[in-house]
Structure 1
Amino acid sequence: MLRLIGSLSFIWLLMATSTMAQTWPPVLDADGQPLRSGVEYYVLPAVTDVAGGLTLVNLNNGSICPLFVGQKPLAPVVSRGTSVIFTPRVADTVIRETRDFTVAFTGVTICAQSTAWRVGERNPETRRRYILAERDPIPSSNAWHFNIVKNDQGLYNFQWCPNRLIGVRPKPLCGDAGIVVENERRLLVLDGPAFPFIFRRA
């Protein structure tokens, strides 16, 4: 009987994994391999000769902290930026399209703050929401949960549209992540044209 229960459990797990793979295909890195949880990746622009990889930047407004998610400028030697680690919201070993995850830069900062990405409040002047790293993730909050979607060209965009809130009224004010230039800084923000990225294993 125990052997039968064990076999049925294995079959159920296999079917669930297969269904998940069909429903939410894995996000692929630049080498065509699934993005894996806990592995370091560089987030680079899908269009070459535009800029470097993502990293933490300040707004150059007289203070260093807090730090915002931004992009290295185009230079003679293109920088890959700072590597990140993705962690799925639900137990899984890979990052899947449209499924929530948290993302954090590796290393530490001079601001002694978290390096996890978070959606900030809407700027009253620009009407955009900046993505910054300021506090450690709060499990009950959706501000730290992003997902990756594939656009019409087959490239990947970051999006903020928490799965847990879908179907709830009012719906979350979802947004695609794009790059804007402010004070000579390239910043990752919501509520603008989406910017496509690729992921290269560090």
Structure 2
Amino acid sequence: MKTIILFSLIALIILAANSAPAPVLDAHGKVLRAGVKYRVKPANSDDYNGGLILAHVGNKSCPLAVGQDLGLNKGPWLTFTPVNPKEHVIRVSTDVNIKISGSNSCNESNIWQLKYNEVMKEHIVMVGGVEGNPGPKTLYSWFKLENITYSGYKFVFCPSVCSHCELMCGDLFPFLTDDSNGQPLVLYNATSWHFSVIFY
């Protein structure tokens, strides 16, 4: 009887492991880990340019947006924190907080959040979000990484931390403006274009 119970438990553990979403892999094929620093670059780039930076929008110095660099900047390091604090692997289709390393000139947290910007008339990624505490109050601080068939991953806003909340889902895509020192990431619901990135 004990043997049957033991084998049943092992089978359940294996089944649970197999049903978990696939891990996100870096440019070297290694699993992305929670709390480890990574840089981001476009998947179709031959060099390390075009990283993500903190960008000003319009003529205001604060708040700061997250955008793609237009020049030679590799961008700062990013860390990912999964919704389950006991999980050490970053997985596709799973809510994560994304944080830019270091500090910023606006004295805000460097946690990504989706927020409507009056200057651009768009929902864009800005800093000042909340880390952890998943639920309705932190809804806009959760993002996902999704695999793109031909190459790399895309950033997506479609959190699962609140089952009854109404929200807009979509990909995050660099949006070129005349007033910014970068291309802020905006919520974009078209399916024909993707901002494909890899991590290194």
TM interval, shorter chain, is 0.7 to 0.9
Would you say the 8 A contact 2:95–2:142 is kept in 1?
yes
Match of 2:25 among 8, 12, 28: 28
Would you say the 8 A contact 1:165–1:172 is kept in 2?
no
Is 1:142 the counterpart of 2:136? The answer is no
The CA distance in 2 between the partners of 1:15 and 1:138, in whole Å, is: 28
Three-state SS of the structure 1 residue aligned to 2:161 is helix
Aligned-residue CA RMSD (Å): 2.8
The CA distance in 2 between the partners of 1:79 and 1:148, in whole Å, is: 23
Q: How many residues align?
A: 190
Is 1:94 the counterpart of 2:89? The answer is yes
Structure 2 counterparts to residues 28-47 of structure 1, below 5 A: 28-47=25-44
Per-residue deviation, residues 47-72 of structure 1 (Å, max 9, x unmatched)? 216952112111241x3211110122
Would you say the 8 A contact 2:68–2:184 is kept in 1?
yes
Structure 1 residue 83: Cα displacement: 0.4
Would you say the 8 A contact 2:57–2:119 is kept in 1?
no
Structure 2 counterparts to residues 15-164 of structure 1, below 5 A: 15-20=15-20, 24-48=21-45, 51-61=49-59, 63-74=60-71, 78-90=72-84, 91-121=86-116, 123=117, 126-137=120-131, 139=133, 140=135, 141-164=138-161
Q: Where does residue 174 of structure 1 map in the other structure?
A: 169
The CA distance in 2 between the partners of 1:146 and 1:155, in whole Å, is: 16
The CA distance in 2 between the partners of 1:125 and 1:64, in whole Å, is: 12
The CA distance in 1 between the partners of 2:88 and 2:196, in whole Å, is: 23
Structure 1 residue 39: Cα displacement: 0.4
Q: Where does residue 198 of structure 2 map in the other structure?
A: 198
Q: What amino acid maps onto 2:35 in structure 1?
A: G
The CA distance in 2 between the partners of 1:109 and 1:86, in whole Å, is: 18
Structure 1 residue 138: Cα displacement: 6.6
Three-state SS of the structure 2 residue aligned to 1:44 is strand
The CA distance in 1 between the partners of 2:144 and 2:96, in whole Å, is: 6
Would you say the 8 A contact 1:128–1:191 is kept in 2?
no
User: Percent identity, aligned pairs only?
Assistant: 29
Per-residue deviation, residues 66-103 of structure 1 (Å, max 9, x unmatched)? 111012223xxx32200010000023111111111001
The CA distance in 2 between the partners of 1:175 and 1:98, in whole Å, is: 13
Three-state SS of the structure 2 residue aligned to 1:142 is helix
Q: What amino acid maps onto 1:86 in structure 2?
A: F
Would you say the 8 A contact 2:69–2:183 is kept in 1?
yes
- Moved >3 Å (runs of 4+): 4-15, 123-127, 135-138
Further displaced range: 171-180 or 136-145: 136-145
